[in-house]
Structure 1
Amino acid sequence: MASNTSRSTTRLARQAIRSCSKQSTASSYRPAVSFSTSTARLTENVENVEQQQQQRQRPRWSYTPERMKAPFSPHITKDPSRRIWKVNSSPEKLDEALQRFLGHEGSRMLSDELKWLAVTHKSFDQGRRGFNDRLAFLGRQICVFECTQTIISSPSSYKGPENDPFADRREPFDDPALRGIDNLFEIQPSDVFDYKKLARLAIDTGLTEVVRWKPRMPDNIKGSGFDPIMAGAIYAIVGAIALQRGGKIASRIVRERIMSKLRS
């Protein structure tokens, strides 16, 4: 009986030693693998975080987002030279153009992102860095409003309809507050804000050198929409100033820096 007990005790001791030896071997082997794997993953995660931080530090206007880049180009051009078109990438040059256009403090009226957005057309980089369509729409409404108000407030030179067959029977209603409306028969805001006039203003102030766009035909700039694009950039700058500084300052810019030069 005692011998059976000793045998069972010995057998249990052997099993315990074997299980302990297996656990020690596994524990000595597994942490090495897990440690090396976790270190590689940690290094990879750190590199990804650093890369993301570097991308976040770059201004939005200066690069195309990685996820918006296609692995191939869907556009097939017969003439490869048409793909080559250089645009401005210097913030100093942009500030100089804005100072000539808006005045001495023109470069400080807008934030950096808003500056580049206002001078970027949707043809540049397929619109992946943002474009100025909405700013141009807002700026155009402000320009039309200011021009209409200026036309109405000017002295009226309209003398009424000629050869009125009922002139001896009736007298047209006349009020000093409404006399300026007759000026709209002679001139419209579209006559003042003509595309050619706005493009000429952009050339004179140097905005044409900083507007980012891609002409459809580099050998035919006018045929690629040069005048409307430059006019849109001027409208977009007005809209950006309205968002950044308010409507009063935008209206003053329209009167003093745009309309005074277009009507002179």
Structure 2
Amino acid sequence: MAEYKKHKNDNKEAGLPVRPETAVRKTDTLVYALGGLGEVGKNMYCYEHENEICIVDCGVLFPGDELLGIDYVIPDYHHLIRQDKKRKILVITHGHEDHIGGIPFLLRQVNIDAIYAPRFAKALIQKKLAEHKGLEKTKIIEIDSDYRIRTKYFTVGFFDTIHSIPDSLGVLITTPNGSIVHTGDFKFDLTPVGRNADYQKMAYIGALKPTLLMSDSTNAGVEDFSISEKDVSREIMGIMRNAKHRMIIATFASNVYRVGQIIEAALATGRKVAVFGRSMENVVDIARKMG
């Protein structure tokens, strides 16, 4: 406290404005995390200016062994509940549970104007909301890398990224105080399965010199490249050719390209496929319907 008073007096003597460092001016753009910061799960970031809040993602965290009897860990929504009079939109980067799993719980407590989600994530969210009575008619707008959202204070654009699920997007948010790049989860793969990242648009955004980068990439601190999905595909095919009997393969249901590679390798080696697990059945069904 004494140090703060000294700093305050120093400012006064120097003819500088005197105000606490934590004071928020009406013209400020606020950036804060309600989940996902320093943890793998319940990703939820908020960008606020005056009476508008742009929320990016709304996920869950799956509990560890220390949380017996707990199904999901969700962000604390009380700040958004207290800001009930402010207009809120929810932007989804991709369809993983740690980015969309908290949406039903959020919608029960907070008024959201609309959810903006890429194609595959939209289908997963619709399936999820259909299981929650009263949320089936939630407004979900499909977006892609060419889509623009314009509100009074925000302009939100998108760019294609590579992740272990189809239709993964990064986000560019332009505010009255500068621009913010929110990458969502991503990796770089020079020979991907499915659509490639839009490196040209990323380079263009970089040339614009954004004010803030919010980058989210698990294991980004590990040196060297990740294995390409094409290499994984060849490895799966080799294992299936050499295996003489029944195979059991475990993988994330949401890694649709990987599931597709497994099924294609099974068909190429004359195997029958049985899909087990509620999430796996749901995702495979949605992926087949969407081509």
Relative contact order: is structure 1 or structure 2 higher (C-alpha 8 Å, sep ≥ 6)? Answer: 1
Query: Between Structure 1 and Structure 2, whose CA radius of gyration is higher?
Result: 1
When the two structures are superposed, what TM-score results if normalisation uses the length of structure 2? 0.19
When the two structures are superposed, what TM-score results if normalisation uses the length of structure 1? 0.20
Q: Which has the higher helix share?
A: 1
Q: Which has the higher strand share?
A: 2
